[in-house]
Amino acid sequence: QSVLTQPPSVSGAPGQTVTISCTGSSSNIGTGYDVHWYQQLPGTAPKLLIYTNNNRPSGVPDRFSGSKSGTSASLAITGLQAEDEADYYCQSYDSSLSGSVFGTGTKVTVL
């Protein structure tokens, strides 16, 4: 079972904004460890979408943004597009487990 909890699904119409939460604890996000976000399109490997809480790798549209506060982090997708329909995962480090941890994953559906 994952120590980072995400909503199983979120949905929105094209052009809308959706937000995905990633809830951790004092042994991971709450300690100050960085949070990263991945996008996994159907049938493909995960792709780093946001690194170190709020940074976008080259080529990632600025419609994607990340934030972190306390024991949680969030990914926002503004101006939702059909191509954003995918699974999204957060990831951090947990000091109690001494290893990387992934969130439970969120499926984004574009209505």
Residue 98 found at the interface with another protein (CB under 8 A): yes
Query: What whole-number distance in Å separates Cα of residue 83 and Cα of residue 61?
Result: 12
Q: What minimum distance in Å lies between the beta carbon of 15 and another protein? A: 29
Query: What whole-number distance in Å separates Cα of residue 21 and Cα of residue 89?
Result: 10
Residue 97 found at the interface with another protein (CB under 8 A): yes
Cα 48 to Cα 13, 16, 53, 55, 56: the distances in Å are: 24, 23, 12, 10, 9
For 39, half-sphere exposure in the C-beta direction (CA atoms, 13 angstrom radius) is 19
Q: What minimum distance in Å lies between the beta carbon of 47 and another protein? A: 7
Task: Choose, by CB under 8 A, the member of 27, 86, 105, 110 that binds another protein.
Answer: 105
Q: What minimum distance in Å lies between the beta carbon of 2 and another protein? A: 7
What x/- string results for residues 40 through 69 when contact with another protein is judged by CB under 8 A?
----xxxxx--xx----x------------
What is the token pair recorded at 90? 């957060």
Report the interface residues with another protein, using CB under 8 A. 2, 33-34, 36, 38, 44-48, 51-52, 57, 89, 91-93, 97-105
